[in-house]
Structure formats: C-alpha cells, structure tokens
Amino acid sequence: MKTVKSIDFHRGAGAVLFDLDGTLVDSLPDIIASVRLTEKELGLAGCSGAEICHWIGNGAKVLIRRVLAGDMDSIPSDEALEKTFSVFMRHYAVQGIKLTSLYPGAESVLQSLKEQGMPMALVTNKPKVITVDLIKKLNIEHYFDVVLGGGDVANPKPHGEMLITAAEQLGVAVKDCLMVGDSSNDVQAARNADMPVVAVRGGYNHGEAIELAEPDGVFDCLADVFR
C-alpha cells in the first residue's frame, strides 16, 4: 500500500505518534513472564502464550480480565479482577522491562525523524510508570516530545482521546499528525480522532491480519513507512 500523502515529513510540518508494544518494541516475553508469575502465585489455570499475545493491546487490566475469563469478552467478578490485577502489576513492575527489546531498525527511524526536527509522541495503553522505565532502559526517551501511557487520559485507545491529547501537547493539528501502530486498536483510535493512520505487520493484533482494520497504509516494517 502507498504511504499517506497528507503528511509532509519536512521539518516543522506535522508530527508522528507511535504506539509502543508491537510497533516499536517486542514486549511479549515480559508480558507472558508476568502473567506466568501471577498464575503461579494465585494458582490460576495457565493460558497459552498465543492466547496472551491475542489478548494484549487494550491495557493491563483488560489483559488480566481476559486471562481470568479465558477469552476475549467474558467478565470475571470485580473482586477476582482487582485481586489478580494487583498481583500482576506487582510482578509486571519488576519483570516488565527485563526481556523487552526494540524491533530491528526502530531506533534508526526515530533518530532520522529527530534529525529532521519531527515532533514525536508515544501513545500507549501500557501503564505509564512501566512505559517510562522501559523507554529509559532502551535509551529512546529523548526521541519523544510527549509520552502518554495508561492512566494519563480518561479514555484509553481505541478511544481517540489519547491521540487528540498528544496532538494538543505537541501543538500540532490533529489532521497534520500521523498515527503509527500495529493493531486495530491503534487504527480505531486514529479514526475516532480523525487522524491519518498507518500500520506495520507482525505486531499484536489479536491474531488477525492488520489489513482487516483498514488503515491508510500497511507496511512490513517501520523503515518502509518513512522511505
């Protein structure tokens, strides 16, 4: 697919918003490890790594709801959810940045955009404190002018609030920003914000081809988006 033509990637003309998990970093190993520690502590039946991969993307609490329920949509009791989520977050706070790594070429893209003077934001449903710790560990925090994580807005992705807030903080019109993600969650958030959006293959999209979400462009890797 072709790139979005409404975005001018020259200095001072637009901004780029990036998702984190599945777009810039492979965080699945840490998420699976944190779920395993939670299951072991609470004596929960184990779910598969493939199921965990399919269930991530809507924030940590939604993931744990799905782990408890064993599917995408069932709802466990509030008491069970809160207890399990608390245990998961305790483990994830320690484990969440141990195994996560940047995708090949991701930092080169960030560096190139930074050198062009492109304003950039990170918009992720990952808990904010873990997001900040992770991007510091990976030494990419300096690329982002704005970092928004879980808890920073009332309505996480796929609501458009996080993207609109990032654009406002960057001082760039929403229509002049480009959202780059890997899932239908990112595409829907961009649609709800009335923002152009492209997606990369190979991320975390609930086991479905990202083409089904109908972004404005689909690419094999980040480098292809900005060629």
State pLDDT tens for residues 54-70.
998 888 899 999 999 98
- Give pLDDT tens digits for 105-124: 999 999 999 999 999 999 99
- From residue 133, alpha-carbon distances to 27, 40, 97, 136, 139 in Å are 13, 25, 7, 5, 10
- Please report the pLDDT score of residue 176 as a whole number: 94
Q: Which residues pair with 102 in a beta bridge?
A: 25
- Please report the pLDDT score of residue 75 as a whole number: 87
Q: Is a pLDDT exceeding 80 seen at residue 4?
A: no
Token readout for 139 is 């030494």
Contact 124, 189 (CB under 8 A): no
Query: What number of other Cβ atoms are within 10 A of residue 156's Cβ?
Result: 23
Q: Phi first, then psi: what are they for 9, rounded to 5°?
A: -90, 20
Contact 17, 186 (CB under 8 A): no
> What are the chain's domains?
15-26+101-225 (3.40.50.1000), 28-95 (1.10.150)
Cα(150)–Cα(90) distance, integer angstroms? 16
- Give pLDDT tens digits for 21-37: 999 999 999 999 999 99
Query: What number of other Cβ atoms are within 10 A of residue 188's Cβ?
Result: 18
Q: Which residue in the list 19, 26, 152, 182 is annotated as catalytic?
A: 19
- Please report the pLDDT score of residue 201 as a whole number: 95
Does 19 participate in catalysis according to the annotation? yes
Kindly state the helix (H) or strand (E) to which residue 26 belongs, with its residue range: strand 25-26
Q: Which residues pair with 200 in a beta bridge?
A: 219
Q: Which residues pair with 18 in a beta bridge?
A: 122, 180
For residues 45, 49, 50, 52, the Cα torsion angle rounded to the nearest 10 degrees is: 70
